Structure 1
Amino acid sequence: MTAHPTVRSAAPPSVAGRPAFRLGPLSTVRRPARVLVVLALAIVLFLVFCLNVGRGDYPLSIPDVVNVLVGGGSRIERFVVMDLRLPRALTGALVGAALAVSGALMQSITRNSLASPDILGITSGASVAAISLIVLSGTSTAVGLFATLGVTLAALVGGLLTAALVYLLSWRGGVQGMRLVLVGIAINAMMVALIGWMLVNADITDVTRAQLWLTGTLSGATWSQVWPVTAAVVLLGAGSVIMSFRLSAMRLGPDTARSLGVDVQRSQAVLLVISVAMAAIATSVAGPIGFVALAAPQIALRLTRCAEPPLIASALTGAVTVVGSDLVARTILPVELPVGIVTSVLGGPFLLYLLVRVNRKATV
């Protein structure tokens, strides 16, 4: 009797017991729970966004706002939504997304939950350059897209130079997360002192404008401010997504990443430049909005139950945080406050929570 070979049915590919999704040369693991979290965050962002656009002296319901956004509504409703409120809400959402992605990249690179542009002094460095342009050259009195791009480029250069300084001072045969944080805190204190010195020696009119900008505000946002941060989120966000595969390998450790063919130092440098650029551009548009880059990635990490901060979920969380904080600052409080004050009030306790958590890990 001849034995016939056993024919086994082809099983779907899987990674670590989970089914894989393949599209050409790309593949990833299917995680339905994380997809649901991202969809839920997107829905929350849409609702908060429409609510923020609809609230004001001329109130509009969410269906009214949606109707205007799709091309309907009366002439006055279109003017209120498209010209007065939509640029502010869009700027808040894009700035929040940019800061959150910047923080997620930095925390993944350093493997430290305390690493973020505002803690490491990068936001302060960008603020020094922007304040220099406002106070010393009077560029803040100019109008139009040219003035916005001038502040944007100055903030980008300031953020990059500060990041390079922090990186070089913390380098000792490699970059260790806690050493980078400590150096960044020291540089941040120096930048804050430099900002204070410039404000003391500036004209009182420029000081007033600079002080309002330093609190982090979306007041007076126009379409000319929307475009730079839109370009940053689209282009740099796409670059971070493309680099996310190398970032995933780097999370396994430098030796494992090198064995997978990843140039660790070059990848770290590229991701750091992307992170700094997004934070600097967001800061130049709305000022230093505190704690969004620190808290949003950690909140998204806990919602999705990932090992490291997820980029897309972090971006949505950051957008919800800034737009929601702007809604609170504009309509719920007795007087309108800059959005940066609200995010700082919410982010301060979260920073204390992270410090306690890191201290417990170090003790164990």
Structure 2
Amino acid sequence: MHTLVLGSASIRVRPRPVLVVAGLLVLAVLLGAVAMTLGDYPLPLSGVVDTLLGSGTRAQRFVVLELRAPRVVLALVVGATLGVAGAVFQSLARNSLASPDLLGFTTGAASGALVAIVVFGAGALGTATGAVVGTVVTAGVALALLGGATGGYRLVLVGIGLNAILIALNNFLILRSELSVAAAAQTWLVGDLNGRDWTTVVTVAVGLLVLGVPALAVSRRLDLLGMGDEAAGSIGVPVVSTRLVALVVGVVLVGFATAAVGPIAFVALAAPQLARRLTGTTGPGMVAAGVLGGVLLLAGDVLGQRLAAPAQYPAGTMTAAIGGLYLVWLLAREWRAGR
């Protein structure tokens, strides 16, 4: 560990997490460059680089800057948003299975969007609004059932129960709707990055930047809560307010991400855990989890584009398939360890 001196203040810096984050950023750039060469209008990597630097033909500028670059940046931003949210929830519950996917918050966002689509015939903006509202309502119901206690296995158990109920609700809404409406709803539910523009990118990026500040602010406190509420409170950690802020931040992050591209499975579950293993840390690791979340979602999107080209699989389908295998491995590992 090294100490960085800034005037009268000093900051302790561990080299390994810094190197891991730097390596992940390089990997994100490389994956993004590869992603922008793919599609019905193939481009060499040199053509992508020239276009990004201001050269290239008019057709190349349109394809790269208006079609592919927003998709790449959106994958990184949404993945980062989910990674940070996953780190918040896992630290809050002190449980590696506590992710928005399994706690019902992602499904709650999907329920809100489905109500907007099926009941109100909403367009893109209404669907996004419904997703955010659905996440907030789900969080409110969870808090009511928990009686304000958000730690330990209670949050996980309540979340799993809510998730099952909301899945049934979503299936009911789709089955009771007209065929054309059901098709539109099902298309949104797969979680797809295709067809999004810079407006969507900016919206999610602003949400991540605004909510990232309180997430980083409570990161150290969440780490201290790992000692237990009584021990953390004895050294001055405001336990109740820390948990409340963390829950609100995590819920709104999930709402923003899901509203932008639909439900994306398992990124929020896997990114924080893999980040902790790579960095060798035990705390929330918000920055590393966010960067790794972006890399995971972008990698899933690239794989979905190339696996059966020229056909494409939505990013949400790919992350669900890969994440399901990861979850099976994680549960088997926990079982072998006797946890």
Please classify the TM superposition score into its range, dividing by the shorter chain length.
Answer: over 0.9
1:236 aligned to 178, 190, 211, which one? 211
> What is the match of residue 186 of structure 2?
211
Q: Give the aligned partner of residue 72 of structure 1.
A: 55
Of residues 43, 58, 61, the one that matches 2:26 is 43
1-structure distance, mates of 2:333, 2:140: 29
SS at match of 2:36: helix
Taking the aligned partners of 1:161 and 1:216, their CA distance within structure 2 comes to 21
1:88 corresponds to which letter in structure 2? Answer: R
- Which amino acid letter does the alignment assign opposite residue 341 of structure 1? T
1:349: Cα distance to partner?
1.5
CA distance in 1, matches of 2:74, 2:275: 21
CA distance 1:63–1:316, shift in 2 (3 Å): farther
1:155: how far off? 1.6
What is the rounded CA distance, in whole Å, between the counterparts of 1:67 and 1:251 in structure 2? Answer: 49
User: What amino acid is the match of 1:310?
Assistant: G
1:347-358 map, 5 Å = 347-358=323-334
Give 1:4's aligned residue: none
Which residue is equivalent to 2:95? 112
Instruction: Work out whether 1:346 is the aligned partner of 2:322.
Output: yes
Which residue does 2:251 correspond to in 1? Answer: 276
**1:240 Cα deviation after fit:** 1.1
One-letter amino acid matched to 1:317: L
CA change 1:279–1:286 in 2 (3 A) is: same
SS in 2 for 1:107: helix
- CA-CA distance at 1:26 after TM superposition: 6.0
* Match of residue 257 from structure 1: 232
Query: Are 1:114 and 1:354, in contact at CA under 8 Å, matched by a contact in 2?
Result: no
Superposed CA RMSD in Å reads 1.9
8 Å Cα contact 1:112-1:177 kept in structure 2? yes
Give the number of the structure whose alpha-carbon radius of gyration is greater: 1
Corresponding position of 1:14:
none
Q: For 2:227, what is the secondary structure of its paired residue?
A: coil
Q: Given the alignment, which residue of 38, 50, 55 partners 2:38?
A: 55
Q: Which residue of 2 aligns with 1:166?
A: 142
Distance 1:25 1:170, change over 3 A: farther
Counterpart position of 1:144: none
- Give 1:316's aligned residue: 291
Moved more, 223-232 or 209-218: 223-232
Give 5+ residue unaligned stretches, structure 1. 1-17, 141-146
The 10-residue stretch of structure 1 (65-74 or 289-298) with the greater mean CA deviation from structure 2: 65-74
Asked if 2 retains the 8 angstrom alpha-carbon contact of 1:113 and 1:354, the reply is no
SS at match of 2:4: strand
Question: How far apart are 1:167 and its partner, in Å?
Answer: 2.9
- Judging changes above 3 Å, is the alpha-carbon distance between structure 1 residues 332 and 299 closer, same or farther for their aligned structure 2 residues? same
Q: Distance in 2 between matches of 1:226 and 1:242?
A: 24
Check if 1:33 corresponds to 2:31: no
Paired residues of 1:108 and 1:309 also in contact (CA < 8 A): yes
Distance 2:242 2:9 in 1: 19
Q: Quick one: distance in 2 between partners of 1:205 and 1:36?
A: 50
2:116 equivalent in structure 1: 133
- 1:74-119 per-residue CA deviation (whole Å, 9 max, x = no partner) reads 2221111111111212221111111111001100111100000010
Query: Which residue is equivalent to 1:295?
Result: 270
Tell me if the contact between 1:104 and 1:310 (Cα under 8 Å) persists in the aligned partners. Answer: yes
Structure 2 runs not aligned, ≥5 long: none
Question: Aligned pair in 2 of structure 1 residues 78, 249: CA closer, same or farther (>3 Å)?
Answer: same
